[in-house]
Structure 1
Amino acid sequence: MANPPPPHSGPPSAPAPAAKDEKIPTEEQLVLDLCNSELREETLYLLSKNREKFQQDIAPLLWHSFGTMAALLQEIVAIYPSLSPATLSQAQSNRVCNALALLQCVASHPDTRMPFITAEIPVYLYPFLNTTYRTRQYEYLRLTSLGVIGALVKVDDHEVIAYLLSTEIIPLCLRTMDLGSEISKTVATFIVQKIILDDAGLKYICATRERFFALANVLAQMLEGLVEQPSPRLLKHIIRCYLRLTDNPSACHALRTHLPTVLRDGTFNDFLEKDLTTRLWLHQMLHNIAMANSGGGAPHTGLNRIMGM
Structure 2
Amino acid sequence: MASVPPAVKLKEGRIEQLVLDLCTPDRRQDALLQLSKKREIFQDLAPLLWNSLGTIAAILQEIVSIYPFLSSPTLTPAQSNRVCNALALLQCVASHPDTRMRFLNAHIPLYLYPFLNTTTKSKPLEYLRLTSLGVIGALVKVDDTQVISFLLSTEIIPLCLRTMEIGCELSKTVATFIVLKVLLDDVGLEYICTTAERFFAVGRVLANMVAAQVEQPSPRLLKNIIKCYRRLSDNLRACNALRSCLPDMLRDATFTNYLQNPSTINWLQQLLHKVQGPRVAAMQAGGFDHMLVN
Same topology, TM > 0.5: yes
Aligned-residue RMSD, C-alpha: 1.7
Correspondence for 1:277: 263
Shift of 1:74: 0.1
Aligned to 1:290: 276
| TM-score (ref. length: structure 1) | 0.87
Look up the equivalent residue of 2:35 and give its one-letter code.
Answer: L
Are positions 1:189 and 2:159 aligned together?
A: no
Instruction: State how 1:90-239 maps to structure 2 within 5 Å.
Output: 90-239=77-226
Return the offset for 1:291. 3.1
Structure 1: how far apart are the matches of 2:192 and 2:255? 26
Q: What per-residue deviation string (whole Å, max 9, x for no partner) do you get for residues 103-125 of structure 1?
A: 00000000000000000000000
Q: CA deviation at 1:265?
A: 0.7
Aligned mates of 2:3, 2:264 — CA distance in 1: 45
Matched letter for residue 277 of structure 1: S
Counterpart CA distance in 1 for 2:4 and 2:230 is 47
For 2:207 and 2:279, the matched residues in 1 are separated by: 20
Q: Which has the higher contact order (CA 8 A, sep 6+)?
A: 1
SS class of match (1:270): coil
Structure 2 unmatched runs, 5+: 281-294
Q: Per-residue deviation at 1:84? A: 2.3
Q: Secondary structure at the match of 1:52?
A: coil
Q: Which amino acid aligns with 2:34?
A: L
**Aligned pair 1:80/2:67, yes or no?**
yes
Mapping 1:14-53, distance limit 5 Å: 17-53=5-41
Deviations 1:35-83 (A, max 9, x none): 00000011111111222221x2110110000000000000010011111
| Equivalent-residue separation in structure 1 for 2:190 and 2:144 (angstroms) | 16
One-letter code of the match for 2:201?
Answer: A
Specify the alignment match of 2:289 in structure 1: none
Q: Name the SS for the 2:157 alignment partner.
A: helix
Residues 261, 16 of structure 1: CA spacing in aligned structure 2 closer, same or farther, 3 A cutoff?
A: farther
Task: Please state how far the C-alpha of 1:15 moved relative to its aligned partner.
Answer: 10
Q: Distance in 1 between matches of 2:122 and 2:279?
A: 44
Report the more deviating stretch, 153-162 or 81-90.
Answer: 81-90
CA distance in 1, matches of 2:157, 2:6: 47
Fraction of identical pairs, as percent: 66
Once the 2 structures are TM-superposed, how far is the Cα of residue 288 of structure 1 from its aligned partner? 0.3
In the aligned structure 2, how far is the partner of 1:24 from the partner of 1:137? 32
- For the 8 Å contact 1:256–1:293, the answer to whether it is kept is no
Mean Cα deviation higher: 81-90 or 207-216:
81-90
Alignment-derived partner of residue 291 in structure 2: none
* 2:118 aligned counterpart, secondary structure: coil
- Alignment gaps of 5+ in structure 1: 1-13, 295-309
Runs of 4+ in 1 over 6 A off after TM superposition: none
**Cα–Cα, structure 1 residues 293 and 197, in superposed 2: closer, same or farther, change >3 Å?**
farther
TM-score, length-scaled by structure 2 = 0.92
1:293, distance to aligned residue in structure 2 (A): 11
Length, aligned pairs only? 279
* Shift in Å, 1:208: 1.1
Displacement of 1:270 in angstroms is 2.2
1:252–1:292 Cα contact (<8 Å) kept: no
1:19 CA drift (Å): 2.7
Cα shift at 1:207: 1.1
Could you tell me which residue of structure 1 aligns to residue 240 of structure 2?
A: 253
C-alpha separation in 2, matches of 1:291 and 1:185: 30
Once the two structures are superposed, residues 209-235 of structure 1 have per-residue CA deviations (whole angstroms, 9 ceiling, x without a partner) of 111111111111111111111100000
Amino acid in structure 2 at the alignment position of 1:228: E
